[in-house]
A and B are shown apart, each in its own frame.
Chain A
Amino acid sequence: MSTPGVVGYLDSLYASPGDEVTVRASVLDGGGRYRAQLVRLICGETGPSGPGLKEEPVATELAGEHMGSEQPVPISSYAIVDNIPPLETIEFSLLVWPTLPGRGTQALMALGPVRLVLDAVGAATIAVDGETISTKVPLRHRAWHRVEARYDPATGSASVRSEPLRGFHADRVAEASGRLRAGVRAAGPLLIGASPCVLRRASLAQDEGRCAVQDQSSPHPEPATEGSASEDARPLFSGSGADAATQHFNGKIEAPALRSRELEAEWDFSRGIGTTRVEDKSRHGLHGHTVNAPKRAVTGARWDGSVHDWRRDLSQYGAVHFHSDDLYDAGWQPSLRFRLPETLKSGYYAVKLQASGPPFYVGFIVSPKPGAPRAKVAVLASTVTYLAYANYRRRMSPGPFELTMGALPTVDMTDVLLAEHPEFGSSTYDVHKDGFGVGHASARRPLFNMRPTGRFWNFAMDLCLIDWLEAQEIAYDVISEHELQERGVELLAPYRAVLTPSHPEYVSLEMLTATEAYLGAGGRFMYLGGNGFYWRVSFDPAHPGMIELRRAEDGTRAWAEQPGQYYHATGEYGGLWRRIGRPPNALVGIGFIAQGFDASTYYRRTSASRDPRAAFLFAGIEDEIIGDFGAWGDGAAGLEIDAFDLALGSPPHALVVASSEGHSNAFLLVNEEMLSNSRGVDGTLNSRIKADIVFFETPAGGAVLSTGSIAFVASLAHENYRNNISRLLRNALDRFLDPAPFKLPM
């Protein structure tokens, strides 16, 4: 009953034969030894109703036992300006919107041992070499304040001030002044939203510091304070490396300024949105950069609700939202490097790491080399959706989960390991410590869901399609959505048919446009899942490997984006593609209608299934009921399901050849289908709750088949792949591979 003793990640979610792959591993069990093996993944852990886990070892120099150690994770975001010259006097000024005041000391600006912080009660405080002066008046939660502090090293005189901005509450200015240790020179990099790790560990209270190791070279070690003299700071990680910052701030900061006799600098966060750049608007050009992707394009102190697109008035978007649990790049040292064999088959793969406990799979996609011969069929692996779900913690938090899901949440011991390590970051289904949604997902950290085991969902579920293609002896390639983002329709063009797996939920504009272009050129597309093409994501050029998501306005949401912040840092309007005017129905004929996580059900053929246009689909299928079996919930129609809807752009000539029925009480109509709450929205009462199988031809001779259910692929292996779902898909694929053009109905 132990958790994996080793975890790791790769530099990319995809690779090609002949590529060198770098593995970054961290050994957590203290043993130092672990084994590694490249495996080709054929089928996930399906449970007793399916074929079960299938993996094949691949011989590479990776195989064998290795030595390693635990590697730290420098979680938390902040900004840093490296080249501050030595200063005689120092004055900090900034606007602050705290989201967790009173939750430990949080640094607003720090230059070596001179720091402006919110103290343990959330009051503005100037700290110099361990001595402090506090206003003793906490800043108000989620309210803007101007905060200032001054320190003169010659005399030791110091002051601090906080002033609430606008509003009609009984806020008041708070000020304090006095003398602190004289002669302390402000030096070193300036940190905004954190303190540098130049403080002795013993001087940091347990809830305040995360410096990994004492920096013995510090010119300004902070003396021990009462009550903490013998205590080391509790690192958030337990590795041996050094972090650069501590005392991380949660909340928004705007217009930080640093003034002295020598210079005046002010950083304008509205400049450089969409980059890591932090721009000093003074003549000194003291530019800096952000660390760990804090959220930009967020409303600032001047935002008045008149503007919602940050590009229209930058002055209202001068803030950055920092989080102590932001993570872009774990930054681990390379542990292993190996080369993929030149003859390696395209597919789903994993580097299987094994120490104590169960293995940790580091999943990735092997796609054909550019220019290499292609199969006629491509599986478009949902790597963007895998990333959006990566490190999903919500199931392990208290709450009435079953009212939504209809069943107990399930996890395994790898998920328990994730819960033990908050430093691995969260998923876009989680919220930060301050309650704001996690809108960034980065691949530069261990990803706990890119594996064939655990929850039968996404990556593990999608392997059912791979298993079926193998069983059918159909030649195929696997390509990734990340490549689609980079290469566009050129990636899809060589394929006669492109198949999605079970749940391609998160899609960028570039991905959507490329898919449309493929269909426009006569491509044949199979959407073999549910709740696809739902949320818009964007790729941030400044943070390779990371996606951004803003859950705006509507939809089945784990959290809601804040007002005024619906536009991504790329400038794109976020939210549901349906709300943006590009509904999935217009692309693949169906769109999200309901979800339930207790049991699946079956499809019943419609009269349209007898239409001559659909004859090829049902060749050899006499059954009226199809898919009344499967490895998820004993049916092919389940989990998240999609329906045909002319009003949302489903093609009028499309054939709905089968629809599911008999869904359970747990299946609830999605809220974007309701203008107000109502009764009668569960699967036992609402006839709109059904998964539709839809077929339609396109003008360029192509066609689309959509099956409308995440559980669909989990039925393919039933009775050794001899069942009506398998037959339907085989019939469809055979025709889709036939170069004869499809013809639009008259």
Chain B
Amino acid sequence: MTGPAIDPRRLNLAAEFRARPFGRHSPELQALLDIMHRAENCQDLILVSIAPGRWVLGERRIGGKPPHLFTDEVFESREAGEWAAFRRRWQVLAGRELELP
């Protein structure tokens, strides 16, 4: 039996990413991100600007077809979109929803 791809107890890494999604990361966070960003884990997510300052997540599709847009959640910054993508991936790879104080 194999465990989750990432350790669900490492909430400190999630907190580090939430505080600074862009820029220098600790080696441990970078290792986690490298797992999340692999082809089999990245969920082919994309950020789509639907208007200036308004973003939604999308899913890239084979052949460069128009991405499927997840319009239920609209973000006001790229950082917020990155955090939403992180949470989606965490749930799959850690086996549980990310709950951060």
Contact = CB atoms under 8 A, between A and B. Distances in A.
Q: Do A and B actually bind?
A: yes
Given A396-B46, A399-B44, A408-B85, A422 B34 contact: no
A695 to B, nearest CB: 29
Contacts of A422: 64
Given A408-B45, A408-B81, A665-B30, A416 B24 contact: no
Given A408-B82, A419-B67, A1 B50 contact: yes
Interface in A576-614: 598-599
A664 B25 CA distance: 7
Contacts of A306: none
A409 B46 contact: yes
A401 B82 CA distance: 14
Interface string B30-50: 100110111100101111111
B48 A398 contact: no
Interface residues of B, number: 39
A372 interface: no
Contacts of B63: 397
B9 interface: no
A398 B34 CA distance: 16
A298 B30 CA distance: 43
A430 B24 CA distance: 30
A454 B69 CA distance: 17
Contacts of B3: none
B67 A411 contact: yes
B18 interface: no
A723 interface: no
Contact of A664 (B24, B48, B82): B24
A47 to B, nearest CB: 8
Given A397-B63, A409-B46, A412-B48, A598 B38 contact: no
Contacts, number: 106
A700 interface: no
A65 B4 CA distance: 59
Interface in A396-450: 396-403, 406-413, 416, 419-420, 422, 430
A633 B30 CA distance: 19
Interface string A134-174: 00000000000000000000000000000000000000000
A400 B37 contact: yes
Given A393-B64, A410-B46, A410-B47, A599 B23 contact: yes
Contact of B62 (A395, A397, A409, A665): A397
A410 B49 contact: yes
Nearest to B76: A48
A592 to B, nearest CB: 22
A382 B101 CA distance: 48
A598 B33 CA distance: 13
B10 interface: no
Given A402-B37, A633-B22, A665-B25, A410 B78 contact: yes
B23 A419 contact: no
A454 B55 CA distance: 12
Interface in B50-69: 50-53, 55, 58, 60-67, 69
A598 B82 CA distance: 11
Given A408-B81, A410-B46, A412-B48, A1 B66 contact: no
B31 to A, nearest CB: 10
A45 interface: yes
B49 A412 contact: yes
Contacts of B66: 396, 416, 419-420
A657 to B, nearest CB: 25
Given A1-B69, A396-B66, A416-B67, A411 B24 contact: no
B24 A396 contact: no
Given A400-B37, A400-B39, A662-B24, A419 B64 contact: yes
B38 A400 contact: yes
B91 interface: no
Given A400-B38, A419-B67, A664-B25, A411 B48 contact: yes
A556 interface: no
A214 interface: no
Interface in A365-406: 393-403, 406
A399 B36 CA distance: 12
A401 B78 contact: no
A413 B48 CA distance: 7
A419 B67 CA distance: 8
B6 to A, nearest CB: 15
Nearest to A45: B52
Given A48-B53, A598-B23, A398 B62 contact: yes
B1 to A, nearest CB: 27
A684 interface: yes
A422 B66 CA distance: 10
Interface of B: 21-25, 30, 33-34, 36-39, 42, 44-53, 55, 58, 60-67, 69, 71, 78, 81-82, 85
Closest 3 A-B residue pairs measured CB to CB? A599-B22, A599-B23, A402-B37
30 contacts: A1-B69, A395-B46, A395-B60, A396-B61, A396-B64, A397-B63, A397-B64, A398-B44, A399-B42, A401-B37, A402-B42, A403-B34, A403-B38, A407-B21, A407-B78, A407-B82, A408-B82, A410-B48, A410-B49, A411-B58, A412-B49, A416-B66, A416-B67, A419-B65, A419-B66, A419-B67, A420-B66, A599-B23, A663-B24, A683-B24
Given A395-B60, A633-B22, 15 more contacts: A1-B69, A399-B44, A400-B38, A401-B37, A402-B37, A403-B37, A407-B22, A407-B82, A409-B60, A410-B49, A411-B46, A411-B58, A419-B67, A430-B64, A664-B25
Interface of A: 1, 45, 47-48, 53, 393-403, 406-413, 416, 419-420, 422, 430, 454, 598-599, 633, 662-665, 683-684
